[in-house]
Amino acid sequence: MDERHPCFNSNAANNARMHIPVAPQCNIKCNYCNRKYDCLNESRPGVTSEVLSPEQSLVKFKEVKSKLSNLTVVGIAGPGDALANFKETKEAIELIKNESPDIIICLSTNGLLVEEYADELKALGVSHITITINAIDPVIGSQIYDSVIYEGKVLKGIEGASLLIEKQLKGLKAMKERDMVCKVNIVMIKGVNDSHIEDVVKKVESLGAFMTNIMPLIPAEGSKFENMPLTSNRELNLTRMKCSSSIKQMYHCKQCRADAIGILGQDCSIDFRNVGCSGQK
């Protein structure tokens, strides 16, 4: 494994990563999701100042690279789903890899399309991937996912959750078979999946996940889960500790924005605001 990725290796904490927000669309609807644009004082997944085209992301990458000598990773983390916008994701990766063959490319996804794009992702040089898998039980999943759109059909409830879970697990296996390093994110939602997380962790470990990243729900304003209870650090760390006997745990996730730039926890995306973008909101 390339050890330079600061999310996968806490010893690489001084390396910077850059998220390029080229993926605005999503193909599922999570009850905790609220994607926001041009929001400078909010730091959480799904938030970005702007959406960039692949060409704009290359311009911005060059600028960031010239200023941050410790930049080692370019990631696509939304603001929607990297693979629901595969055309833009692919173009951006090709442009950036062409400019800088040594850069680590990672992406995060809900997992619905991972298996379908597995060979292409490998060919593009994606080495690190994160799949968010919040449940392996469709009944629990149906409380987290409002709907799943697949092959033009909108699937709701248990039907949608079943398909998503099946695709996520197959996708994870496909990544492992292609020697890609896979992290699984799990959003801990009190009263919904908190007592199910150990089962999820055991399952993804058996399919070859490298580590799991159990994160607390951020009850985003305007989302269906905006009034859900918060998980305390103690509860979170207790669950992580229980799961650490199965698989490596991530303790240093900062739940970053979709346009985050810099060292984890020291976001400097504001310094690069408008670089490469059209100025239109």
Q: Examine residue 253 and tell whether it contacts ligand SF4 (CB under 6 A).
A: yes
Are 243 and 194 within 8 A, CB to CB?
no
User: Does 255 participate in binding ligand SF4 (rule CB under 6 A)?
Assistant: yes
Cβ of residue 7: shortest distance to ligand SF4, in angstroms?
3
Does residue number 88 form part of the binding site for ligand SF4 (CB under 6 A)? no
**Would you count residue 186 as binding ligand SF4 (CB under 6 A)?**
no
Q: How far is the CB of 110 from ligand SF4 (least distance, A)?
A: 4
Binding mask 24-43 for ligand SF4 (x = CB under 6 A): --x-xxx--x----------
Size of the site for ligand SF4 (CB under 6 A): 18
Cα–Cα distance measured from residue 276 to residue 57, given in angstroms and rounded to the nearest whole number: 7
Write the interaction track for ligand SF4 spanning residues 205-244; mark x where CB under 6 A is met and - where it is not. --------x-------------------------------
Site string for ligand SF4, 91-120 (x = CB under 6 A): -------------------x----------
Report if residue 78 touches ligand SF4, rule: CB under 6 A. Answer: yes
Residue 256 engages ligand SF4 in binding (rule: CB under 6 A): yes
Q: Which of 12, 58, 81, 92 binds ligand SF4 (CB under 6 A)?
A: 81
Tokens at 183, concatenated: 């992290």
- Please give the residue ranges that form the binding site for ligand SF4 (CB under 6 A): 7, 17, 26, 28-30, 33, 46, 78, 80-81, 110, 213, 253-256, 264
